Amino acid sequence: MKRISGIFFSRPTLFIVGAVAGALALAGIAAMVLYEMRMDALGRARDGAENLALILQRDIERNLEVYELSIDAVVDGVSDPATLRLPAGIRQRVLFDRSTHARDMGTLLVADRTGEVVFDSAGYPPRRRNLAEEDYFTVHQRAAGAGLFISRPFVPGAQAADQAIALSRRLAGPHGDFAGAVVGTLRLNYFHRLFDGMTLGDHGSLTLLRSDGTVLMRRPYSVSEIGRSIAAAASFKPLLLASSGSFIGTAALDGERRLYSFRHIGTPPLIIVVGLSTQDIYAEWRRRAWAIGMVVALLDAFFIAVSVLFASQLRQRLAMEAQLHRLASTDGLTGVGTRRLLDETLDTAWRAARRQRQRLSLLMVDADRFKSFNDRFGHAAGDAALRAIAQCIAASARRPGDFVGRYGGEEFCVLLPGTGLDDAIRVAERIRAAVQAIDPAALGAGEDRLSVSIGVASFDGDTQRYRSRQELLLAADHRLYEAKAGGRNTVRPATAAATPAATPAATPAATPAATPAAGGGAAHPFTERG
């Protein structure tokens, strides 16, 4: 956990990435919740539509059954010779019960095989009327098994408000031949009133259809739509695939997209269709979705804004810490590493070299006679000299992993990971030559050139020779003493024969051959640095 938090606190951009990821996750969760809410709204609407369709189916089916029983009673009475022999008044009461006087029920008629009306529930003698051209009569002429037939809407009277449908059943003779039909009418006002009592929403619809797609009644009501066929509409075809069901489709009559639940009534069936508009179904869901969406959007924006602000503050803090670290780890005068950073880097490099048995070389570089140079030309010239020497060292040790640090005063230390003794000597020579090439006039030192003495020690993976980083550092320091004693402006390497224990106080006569510069001057018989 600390490691993860450390990664976040060291990389401010991760806070923004994390906030964006969190915002997306929150938006995703909100989207899932809204989707579930939408499905719940649709499910509740489907249940409501199916229940309403069931209620309407049972109401219509019950009333049609009552009327059908009255028609069947007339069929049975007309087929009974004893009933036909009764006096006219009694025969009327036997053939036609009181159901014909119910609200919205029309008259019952009996027509013979030619279509002439021979009995009329309205009274005797019957009205003069021929039904031979009507569909509810001819259907029984053509098919003996037509059963109860429900006609297309028609106007039995003079006013359009009296639109009705006819229910008819075949009369059969003694040998099963066609003998006429019994016809009853049912006013469409019954369906109109029934539909008006239902709650559908602002854009809902109720439709009663014949199985051939003819509209018998519809809400919202329009006279022009009664009797119209929607058999060719895409939304009609699913109504014939099952006796009940639900689907979402676009209405053929008004183009509204609705959830439809339907049920068949009787055989051949009428079809009752309940349509609930999707805009009504999802109206409340849309209001909630807007509210939830706005809250989530504001929260996401807040999280991202806070993360950006926090990342900005953290970035500034890290920049300040980096600057403080640079100030703490960079020598203010020379621009190279401080003694503290040198110790840390040497410890890390030494551990890596020992663990991986890799080479590690160390150079100790000291400015020759710097105290007298400083006393003679002043501190400003001395500071300029140290900066110039540091630049020469840094320019010579420029590989990745090379490190230059100020050891103290006018002394510098160079770490060369992965470098053997021969290569380290070449680097040291480049440093020595570069320092000697510094223009003294640029330092305000007249014609006195600068020079450095360099001690070199190298670890080749043999832990028997150097058991610690202190021993490696001490070996290079001893070689530096020898270089000073050997005449300065020289590079003195630590060989296998010259370990730190073997060279407690080097003298010109006891040191290995140095690599003096051309015209390096005579050797000095003292070992102190200067």
Q: What DSSP character marks residue 269?
A: T
In this structure, the answer to whether residues 106 and 181 fall within a common structural domain is yes
232 token code pair: 């060719």
Residues of the chain with pLDDT under 50: 160, 497-529
- Torsion angle, alpha carbons of 93, 64, 55, 218, to 10: -120
pLDDT at site 477: 95
Identify the burial level of 495 via C-beta atoms within 10 angstroms of its C-beta, where 0-12 means exposed, 13-18 middle and 19 or more buried: middle
Give the phi and the psi of residue 392 in degrees, each rounded to 5: -65, -40
**DSSP of 213-229:** SBEEEEES--GGGTT-B
In this structure, the answer to whether residues 141 and 215 fall within a common structural domain is no
Domain count, the chain: 3
Angle, nearest 10°, between helix axes 339-356 and 283-329?
100
Per the domain annotation, does 257 fall within a domain?
A: yes
Per the domain annotation, does 55 fall within a domain?
A: yes
Per the domain annotation, does 312 fall within a domain?
A: no
In this structure, the answer to whether residues 97 and 127 fall within a common structural domain is yes
CATH number of 386's domain = 3.30.70.270
Q: What DSSP character marks residue 162?
A: G
In this structure, the answer to whether residues 389 and 509 fall within a common structural domain is yes
pLDDT at site 500: 46
In this structure, the answer to whether residues 345 and 397 fall within a common structural domain is yes
Report strand pairing: 105-112 vs 178-187.
antiparallel
Per the domain annotation, does 526 fall within a domain?
A: no
Per the domain annotation, does 390 fall within a domain?
A: yes
Report how far residue 473's alpha carbon sits from residue 500's, in angstroms, rounded to the nearest whole number.
9
In this structure, the answer to whether residues 111 and 125 fall within a common structural domain is yes
In this structure, the answer to whether residues 346 and 385 fall within a common structural domain is yes
Residue range(s) defining the domain that contains residue 491:
330-516
Per the domain annotation, does 309 fall within a domain?
A: no
CATH number of 149's domain = 3.30.450.20
Closest residue by Cα to residue 405 from 326, 336, 340:
336
Name the domain boundary from 126, 152, 187: 187
Report how far residue 168's alpha carbon sits from residue 191's, in angstroms, rounded to the nearest whole number.
19
163 touches 187 (CB < 8 A): yes
In this structure, the answer to whether residues 424 and 377 fall within a common structural domain is yes
pLDDT at site 98: 66
Name the domain boundary from 170, 187, 204: 187
In this structure, the answer to whether residues 461 and 354 fall within a common structural domain is yes
In this structure, the answer to whether residues 374 and 433 fall within a common structural domain is yes
Number of Cβ within 10 Å of residue 136's Cβ equals: 23
Per the domain annotation, does 429 fall within a domain?
A: yes
In this structure, the answer to whether residues 242 and 139 fall within a common structural domain is no
178 touches 170 (CB < 8 A): yes
Per the domain annotation, does 317 fall within a domain?
A: no
Name the domain boundary from 254, 284, 299: 299
360 touches 458 (CB < 8 A): yes
Q: In the chain, helix, strand, coil percent, each to 5?
A: 50, 20, 30
In this structure, the answer to whether residues 411 and 451 fall within a common structural domain is yes
